[in-house]
A and B are shown apart, each in its own frame.
Chain A
Amino acid sequence: MAFLELSHLHKSFNHAVAVQDFSLSVERGEFVSLLGPSGCGKTTVLRMVAGFETPTSGQIVINGREVTQVPPNQRHIGMVFQSYALFPNLTAAGNIGFGLQVAGKPKTVIEARVREMLDLVRLPEFGTRYPYQLSGGQQQRVALARALAPQPEVLLLDEPLSALDAKVRAEVRDEIRRIQKQLGITTLFVTHDQEEAMSISDRVVVMSKGQIEQAAPPFEVYNYPRTAFVASFVGTLNQLTCTVANAAQGHLRHNGSTFLVPGPLRQAEGAQVVLMLRPEELRLGKAEGLNQLTGTVQSVSFLGAVVRVKLLHGLSPITLDLFNERNLKLPEVGQAYIISFPPHACWIMGENAEDHPADAHH
């Protein structure tokens, strides 16, 4: 049995279903993100694990102990909130020591542990500061230290980075991951930011409408999305409606051009399928042996490492990413360009990783 086992969780609020049939096994020391748009039920799942909500049905087991009906203060969980939720009347040290004090630990033990935690979050000098004397990033690190001090079995992070500005956010994010790895603590992280989820997690659980769409490592979620929702929610995606010309050979027809895709296809000839392409797999210009189409440049935005080009192919918008280099010639708006892409970059909705695991990984 996994360390944290959620089986068939279901939660409704006055007939509105928030979470349905949610099952997830998290291994000891694993970092799992719950990712999805607001209202998808990810926070409700986290709050059920914390004990702040009781599931309508289903079961939660932490380290072999069934806790579904156990009140939050007896679950041995640590939680970090979006709004930090530090106790304003206590110093950083007082906040970090709170859990140990409640547990009735001796003063010397508390002091030692508080010092250890302040070192862990790299704020050794800040123990005597009050929350209002700390920046957002510092407050969130203190909140993390506070959650970890009583040595919880599971760490729950509820959008802990959302209130921070971009630079601090990346810093705290790396800090969380470093500490999580160092302590080997099982962690559940809720976010609506796919980049955040991708960069920090061992596994990403993409959710929509209270259900799991896909639970897999970030690489797999990004490159082999199991559903249309995952494909469009995670990263940018081009979608082209094509007709199957030859299922056995993997030939698709689109606006008079033929694309070669990994075959054979399940769909019958003449069937309509949606061809999906990531912007970074498209190239500008002709290339031997690649699929091609033409597009007119609508806009060019310089994002630093990447230049994002938006084109129009017939009526279909196409997004293409170029890697920046100093001698790159930026495409001109209004000009038509040939876009090429290799067959292995193509995947077809419904013909996915789950159906062809062997194909998908080679």
Chain B
Amino acid sequence: MPKRINVFAWFIVILGALFFLLPIYGTLDFSLRARKGELSLLAYERVFSDPLFLQAFFFSVQKALLTIGFSLLLIVPTAYWVNWRLPRWRPVVELVTLMPFVIPAVVLVFGLIRTFSRPPFVMTRSTFTTDILLIAGYMVLTMPYVYRAVDTGLRALDVRTLTEAAQSLGANGPTILWRVIFPNLRGAILSGALITFATVIGELILASFLVRPAFGPYMESMGQNKAYEPAALGILSYALTWASLALIDVFARGNKQVASIR
């Protein structure tokens, strides 16, 4: 009996693995066939030699880092305050942070454009203010992940007692946040940040409707005009995402060790 279950389990695992890996393999294989009749890195060379690629990529990296910074500035104090002083409000705040899952990005971007392209807030006229809208939109899209990561980290700490201990030692609010809360949320903040990074790098809808030269729209336009390069781009963005996930895993594990001993 146990043996049959084992075989079945393996069958499912292999089936799942094939489901995920075959398309990646197919893409990888295709991306290597830009030169007829042999395997080569030609598609990758072409991608890297396109100045627009690096431009788009660094545009998105920059926006991702800004999104991470502003998200943390907004969400860490909020989640801290909810954990410390307003635990009764937790369900409400959680619901709000889940809204981006319910509202599609298209709706969000149309809302942003409609609201901020007319007085009193005209923000779509210059690239700088449009970038602000873009980052704000990214913050909304990634909020569920960041909030959850930070909240989980805070729950693992005894926020109230640590805060009171710091207060009794003379620390004020900002000092407590900076010296006690942020350092002890390192793992949680990193996982939130890396998920944000991966999301922003691949995001298409916000950037293309706001007409910003981000990595997502670049990949999309490649897909319309080229054959092999989009496959190479796809593999590159896979690699980036996996690298992000691997980093999260490493940091989360380090954090767990400390937490379990504590």
Contacts and interface: CB of A to CB of B under 8 A. Distances in A.
Contact of B170 (A83, A89, A143, A150): A150
Of B161, B169, B172, B262, chain A has the most CB atoms within 10 Å of the CB of B169
Contacts of A103: 170
A83 B159 CA distance: 12
Interface in B180-212: 180, 183-184, 186
B220 to A, nearest CB: 43
Contacts of B262: 88, 131-132
A147 B161 contact: no
B184 A150 contact: no
Interface residues of B, number: 22
A310 B168 CA distance: 47
Interface in B145-174: 157-158, 161-162, 164-172
A79 interface: yes
Contacts, number: 75
Contacts of A50: 164, 168
B165 A85 contact: yes
Contact of A73 (B167, B179, B184, B258): B167
Contacts of B166: 87, 98, 102
Interface string A98-140: 1100110000000000000000000000000011110000000
Interface magnitude class on chain A? 20 to 34
Contacts of B40: none
A81 B170 contact: no
Nearest to B173: A73
Contact of B164 (A74, A78, A81, A86): A81
B226 to A, nearest CB: 49
A87 B170 contact: no
B169 A98 contact: yes
B254 to A, nearest CB: 12
A147 B167 CA distance: 11
B161 A85 contact: yes
Of A51, A98, A147, chain B has the most CB atoms within 10 Å of the CB of A98
Nearest to A71: B167
Contacts of B175: 102
Contact of A147 (B168, B183, B258, B261): B168
A72 interface: yes
A146 B261 contact: no
A79 B165 CA distance: 7
A339 interface: no
Contacts of B165: 79, 81, 85-87, 143, 146
B168 A102 contact: no
A81 B164 CA distance: 9
A133 B184 CA distance: 16
Nearest to A96: B169
A302 interface: no
B158 A83 contact: yes
B170 A88 contact: no
Contacts of A132: 258, 261-262
Given A102-B175, A131-B262, A132-B262, A88 B157 contact: yes
B258 A78 contact: no
A89 B255 CA distance: 11
Contacts of A79: 164-165, 168
A87 B158 contact: no
Nearest to A101: B179
A77 interface: yes
Nearest to A72: B167
A52 interface: yes
Given A83-B158, A103-B170, A88 B258 contact: yes
Given A102-B175, A132-B261, A87 B162 contact: yes
Contacts of A99: 169-170
Interface of B: 157-158, 161-162, 164-172, 175, 179-180, 183-184, 186, 258, 261-262
29 contacts: A50-B164, A51-B167, A52-B164, A73-B167, A73-B168, A77-B168, A78-B169, A79-B168, A81-B165, A85-B161, A87-B180, A87-B183, A87-B184, A88-B258, A89-B183, A98-B169, A99-B169, A102-B169, A102-B170, A102-B171, A130-B258, A132-B258, A132-B261, A132-B262, A133-B261, A143-B165, A146-B169, A147-B168, A150-B169
Interface of A: 50-52, 71-75, 77-79, 81, 83, 85-89, 98-99, 102-103, 130-133, 143, 146-147, 150, 156
3 tightest A-B CB contacts, nearest first: A99-B169, A132-B261, A79-B168
